[in-house]
Chain A
Amino acid sequence: MSSPPIDRPATSPAFTGLQTGRKIRNRVATGLVTLAFLLAVIPLFWVAWTVLRYGVSAIASGSWWTHSLSGMLSSQFGGGVYHAIYGTLAQAVICAVISIPIGMMVGIYLVEYGARSRLAKATTFTVDILSGVPSIVAALFIYTLWIAIVGFPRSGFAVSLALVLLMVPVIVRTTEEMLKIVPNDLREAAYALGVPKWKTIVKIVIPTAMSGIVTGMMLALARVMGETAPLLVLVGYAPFINFDLFDGNMAALPLVMVNERNNPTPAGVERMWGAALTLVLIITLFNLIATIVSRRSAIKTK
């Protein structure tokens, strides 16, 4: 192949078109990559459609949100899951109350205090490990600690404790990420005015990062509400309302699904998908709140 002369502008044969092979390969790659994306979207819509289709009749009934399944026969239509909604929300709230302060403090430690110390490195590593701990292992840990060794009964609170193990790493991660993007100028301005470090963090750094942290909390909450394994290990299912987190069986939406799965009657099928749709709706709600919070106020870097 001789190179074209360089003393005058190139004319059309100087630029040859792409070889067919290369062109085809490029097209095939584009096609495959797009296909991969479609492949991922299919199950999402398929699951959403399934839950909606089978679950909508249950949640449309009047008693669904206001009644429990107390005294209902397994084949009897009617009743509702308010006992389970209460259980799911109560356990999630207790879990959040415990994990948010711990998680935020760890995040603050890592960004504001730890720098490159050995403990900070160990902490980052263990948070990574903790975020990979399967929920069933977290549940077994709380079982050994709380029930087998200390001797408390199974309860909703034990579930919350197990959920803490799953939620803390998520909170730490978001806090860390958010604090890192708070501009250093803000900290330095505060120090220059003589504000103590802890007050700088509490009054300046955290408020700046708060919207991002709240978003992370909402997402973490949505995630722990769908956890089922800790429920199986740490609390029994009750078809009636139980307000006491520290004692007795307690329902939660995932437990309703697990229980009604073995109920082959049409009523059972309806309850199962109804509970699934309810759970998905609650999680969607939390996700929406998270999105709105993050839209409303992002960190202003300038």
Chain B
Amino acid sequence: MSEDVAGRSTARASVAGRSGARPVIDPEARVPVPRPEPPDRQADRSVVRRGDQIFRGAALFSGGLMVTLVVAIGVFLLIQAIPALRLDRVNYLTSRIWDTDSLDNLRFGIVDLLLVTVEVSLVALVVAMPVALGIALFLTQYAPKRLARPFAYLVDLLAAVPSIVFGLWGIFVLAPALFPVAHWLNQHLSLVFLFDRRNGAPGLEGGGNLLTAGIVLAVMILPIITAVTREVFERTPREHVEGALALGATKWEMIRTTVLPFGRAGYVSASMLGLGRALGETIALYVILSTTNLAFAGSLFDGGSTFASKIAQAAPEFNDPTQAGAYIAAGLVLFVLTFVVNAGARAAVADRSGRR
């Protein structure tokens, strides 16, 4: 950085009419002090140094780079996906087959992947949402002030555990523990499609099913939902809280009438962020879910593949670009899906602040 400092005294370019920049006067530069002029743009004349220009340029460039990156992800995935989609013998959007073994007969469609991805993410969301709401309330309203921070830190620690470790724990430790529950549900409630199981479908005995995967995913998205929800709950106006308490509300009534209505939008948006994370989670599901060739029937005790786990399974054998294109097409759908969900989460918050 020292060479920039040296360059400062030589750089005396003075650009008039830079409305945004602050007028800065540098004693070393000996720039003549501007004479009082009529209050037009000339009066706003300021010294602009090369260091400033370079730094500003770098900052602007980095900002632009972010925008370019997101666009580039979409464009490049599309470019690589198109050749494979051209060769696809079945309809990509409506077929349930996924067979990319021979290049002359590429047949792949996303319906099954989409169904498994959505179902497992919904299971995770259904489990995680109420728990996260409870934790956020506990940490902001119930926990003793001194313990609230360390408790919050504990929940945040869940986010620090690598997903592969969650995956291994899920399949080797949690799955056997869940088996009695799964077995009971399957025995007694198999009329409901969620708990039904067809002959030959893997997943119930080994535990590599959507139920295990969903619960592990729920644990993984819990810290995200909690963190955002907690932040919103903390911002509940004190006057509302005190007003409710002054009117004789119990703690729970106070929460129901002030904290919850105030934080609802934030909670919904937090849950959508969690959903986005669940949709794209790869490695835990890759480890947990048992693969199958059977079409997905919606049962929680089936195995299956999500977009992400399907790609991960095939990834080490990506050698032919066209074949890889099929998976890149799946990645593109996943990208669009998470894009929509995340943008939705943002919109939910923006909507709220607009109304206030």
Contact = CB atoms under 8 A, between A and B. Distances in A.
Contacts of B162: 225-228, 254, 279-280, 283
A229 B280 CA distance: 11
A36 interface: yes
B246 interface: no
B283 A128 contact: no
Contacts of B6: none
Nearest to A269: B172
A263 to B, nearest CB: 13
Interface string B56-86: 1011111111110110110011011000000
Nearest to A194: B26
B77 A47 contact: no
Contacts of A120: 63
A228 to B, nearest CB: 4
A128 B346 contact: yes
A44 interface: yes
Contact of B142 (A33, A140, A148): A33
A194 B169 CA distance: 59
B99 interface: no
Interface string A63-107: 000000000000000000000000000000000000000100110
Contacts, number: 281
B183 to A, nearest CB: 21
Interface in A125-153: 125-130, 132-141, 143-145, 148-149
A42 to B, nearest CB: 9
B161 interface: yes
Interface in B271-328: 273, 276-277, 279-283, 286-287, 308, 311-312, 315-316, 318, 321, 324, 327-328
Contacts of B283: 228-229, 232, 254, 258
Contacts of B132: 36
Interface residues of A, number: 92
A109 B63 contact: yes
Contact of A197 (B22, B137, B138, B158): B22
B1 interface: yes
A229 B142 contact: no
Contact of B342 (A132, A143, A148): A132
A119 B63 contact: yes
A230 B316 CA distance: 11
Nearest to B316: A232
Given A36-B133, A134-B280, A148-B324, A126 B80 contact: no
Contacts of A295: none
B65 A51 contact: no
A112 B59 contact: yes
B232 interface: no
A145 B138 CA distance: 46
A138 B77 CA distance: 10
A103 B277 CA distance: 21
Interface string B337-356: 01101110010000000000
B165 A280 contact: yes
Contacts of A32: 134
A276 B55 CA distance: 43
Contacts of A197: 21-22, 24, 52, 55-56
B262 interface: no
B251 interface: yes
A181 interface: no
Contacts of B308: 134, 136, 229
Interface of B: 1, 4-5, 8, 20-22, 24-27, 49, 51-52, 54-56, 58-67, 69-70, 72-73, 76-77, 79-80, 130-135, 137-139, 141-143, 151, 154-155, 157-158, 160-166, 168-169, 172-174, 219, 222, 226, 250-253, 255, 273, 276-277, 279-283, 286-287, 308, 311-312, 315-316, 318, 321, 324, 327-328, 331, 334-335, 338-339, 341-343, 346
Task: Name the 5 nearest CB pairs between A and B, nearest first.
Answer: A36-B134, A134-B280, A226-B162, A198-B55, A109-B59
Given A40-B135, A46-B173, A123-B64, 18 more contacts: A26-B250, A33-B141, A40-B222, A44-B157, A51-B165, A105-B59, A109-B59, A109-B62, A110-B63, A119-B67, A123-B63, A129-B343, A196-B24, A226-B161, A228-B163, A272-B168, A276-B168, A284-B160
Interface of A: 18, 22-23, 25-26, 29-30, 32-37, 39-41, 43-44, 46-47, 50-51, 102, 105-106, 108-110, 112-115, 119-120, 122-123, 125-130, 132-141, 143-145, 148-149, 165, 168, 172, 191, 194-199, 201-202, 219, 222-223, 225-229, 232-233, 236, 254, 257-258, 261, 272-273, 276, 279-280, 283-284, 287
